[in-house]
Amino acid sequence: MRILLTGASRGIGRAVAERLAEPGASLALAASRPSPELDEAAAACRELGAKVVAVIGDLADGATPERLVAGAATAFGGIDAVISNAGIAVPGNLCEIDGEAWDRTFSIKVRSAWLLARAAYPHLVAARGVFVAVASMSGVEPYPGVGAYSASKAALIMLVRQLAQEWAASGVRANLVSPGLFLSAMTQPIYADPDKKKAREALIPMHRIGDPARDLGGVMKFLVSPDAAYMTGQNLVVDGGLLGSVQTHIAGRPRSGTT
């Protein structure tokens, strides 16, 4: 399988890349700039048997997505799957952040996904392929303190659902994965504090923080595989049961009776 993966140098992106890396796989690992982390990710995937190329570009630049797609398609003779994973989180409530932070957040997470999808569409049609985006549980329920991030993830979910409907007749699928509380490059400083980590784990019905390699890699591998060939427009929330647990935090039990 020939896959273009953005945000591939660390965290969730690298974990997914390594899960997808196997003999016969071709991976175009995209990052905003060259780095030792990207080199290490590429080397790890090659050791697992994959053919790997690195493609570089800042997704805040509107010309980058088309260039990344072209680079991957040229290297591999086409593209079977695009995984839009890159993103940023700017802290701040909606009345606190400025327009530049808002625009950059949406450019990197939403506009770049649209432009990647648009540029990759002819290749995906030829391959009857798939587009997968990494959203967040924060795009399903609001998360105070990161207003632009939550809004961008919600927009991304609708974008991909829209793509799924527009592309279905051509045989191209579009789906999402929405992680819950996961260890990543962005969240590592939080989980370095044992008390904060313990408090977050207590909220999760499965009582542990998600691990990208263990808990997301397999989900992503399924979505890009033929096993998910009849699945499109879906947002898989991978959160250890957190979003569905709100009523478990209500003190007391309801009494029997009629309403």
Asked, for residue 249, whether it belongs to a domain, the answer is no
Q: What is the pLDDT at residue 188?
A: 82
For residues 198-204, average pLDDT: 94
Distance, C-alpha 36 to centroid of its chain? 22
Report residue 205's pLDDT band, with 50, 70 and 90 as the boundaries. very high
C-beta separation of 232 from 175 below 8 A: yes
Asked, for residue 189, whether it belongs to a domain, the answer is no
Asked if the model's pLDDT at residue 26 lies above 80, the reply is: yes
Spatial separation of the C-alpha atoms in residues 182 and 212, rounded to whole Å: 7
User: E strand or H helix at 21, and its extent?
Assistant: none
C-beta separation of 37 from 60 below 8 A: no
Burial 178-216 (b: 16+ CB within 10 A, else e): bbbbbbbeebeeebeeeeebeebeeebeeeebbebeebb
Spatial separation of the C-alpha atoms in residues 4 and 83, rounded to whole Å: 6
Asked, for residue 109, whether it belongs to a domain, the answer is yes
Asked if the model's pLDDT at residue 258 lies above 80, the reply is: no
For residues 179-185, average pLDDT: 89
**Where does residue 240 fall: left (phi above 0), alpha (psi -120 to 50 degrees), or beta otherwise?**
left
Report residue 48's pLDDT band, with 50, 70 and 90 as the boundaries. very high
Report residue 63's pLDDT band, with 50, 70 and 90 as the boundaries. very high
DSSP state, 255? Answer: P
- 121 catalytic, yes or no? no
Q: What is the pLDDT at residue 129?
A: 98
Residue 76's domain comprises: 2-181+216-228
Spatial separation of the C-alpha atoms in residues 255 and 239, rounded to whole Å: 30
The pTM (predicted TM-score) of the whole model is: 0.94
Report residue 44's pLDDT band, with 50, 70 and 90 as the boundaries. very high
Q: What is the pLDDT at residue 253?
A: 67
In 32-126, the DSSP E strands lie at: 51-56, 81-84
Spatial separation of the C-alpha atoms in residues 218 and 245, rounded to whole Å: 24
Asked, for residue 253, whether it belongs to a domain, the answer is no
C-beta separation of 157 from 84 below 8 A: no
pLDDT per residue as tens digits for the range 86-142: 988 889 999 999 999 999 999 999 999 999 999 999 999 999 999 999 999 999 999
Return all residues near 161 (Cβ < 8 A) that are at least 6 apart.
174, 233, 235
Asked, for residue 242, whether it belongs to a domain, the answer is no
Asked if the model's pLDDT at residue 257 lies above 60, the reply is: no
For residues 63-68, average pLDDT: 97
Side-chain half-sphere exposure of 164, counting CA atoms within 13 A: 19
* Distances in whole angstroms, Cα of residue 156 to Cα of each of 85, 182, 198, 201, 211: 11, 19, 30, 27, 23
Q: What is the pLDDT at residue 259?
A: 53
Asked, for residue 239, whether it belongs to a domain, the answer is no
Asked if the model's pLDDT at residue 36 lies above 90, the reply is: yes
Asked if the model's pLDDT at residue 85 lies above 80, the reply is: yes
Spatial separation of the C-alpha atoms in residues 170 and 245, rounded to whole Å: 38
Q: What is the pLDDT at residue 15?
A: 95
What is the tally of structural domains in the chain? 1
pLDDT per residue as tens digits for the range 245-256: 988 877 776 666
As given in the structure block, the two tokens for residue 7 are: 């945000």
Asked, for residue 128, whether it belongs to a domain, the answer is yes
Average confidence score pLDDT of the chain: 94
CATH of the domain at 141: 3.40.50.720
From 143, 149, 191, 230, the catalytic residue:
149
